[in-house]
Amino acid sequence: MPRLMSMVVRFLVLGLLAVSGNAQALPDQVLRDHQAARTARAEGRILPMREIERRVLPQMRGAQYLGFDYDPDRGIYTLKFLRDGAVIWVDVDARTGQVTGRSR
């Protein structure tokens, strides 16, 4: 289910960007970020996303997990959740698995 939600969120974002004329920039950046994450994981520089999810999801009881993004420049995974109509972002250090920030 989390992958489906992630795909839905990305589809909606892409649709909004298409309307605004910026649709090509996001897919290229998303592909680069995902490739950077795969490379960093293969080289052992960051934890697998499944390990990050295993650590963070139990802390977010009552929230729906929407998916994640990876910022290779900062080495941060951002996990997105929905609770009571509000989006919550949780930043996690990809190397250590420690939560570094949280909105709301």
Confidence class of residue 1 from pLDDT cuts 50, 70 and 90? very low
User: Residue 60 in contact with residue 89, Cβ under 8 Å?
Assistant: no
Percent of the chain with pLDDT over 90: 48
pLDDT of residue 44: 87
pTM value surpassing 0.85: no
Cα 83 to Cα 3, 44, 72: the distances in Å are 18, 33, 27
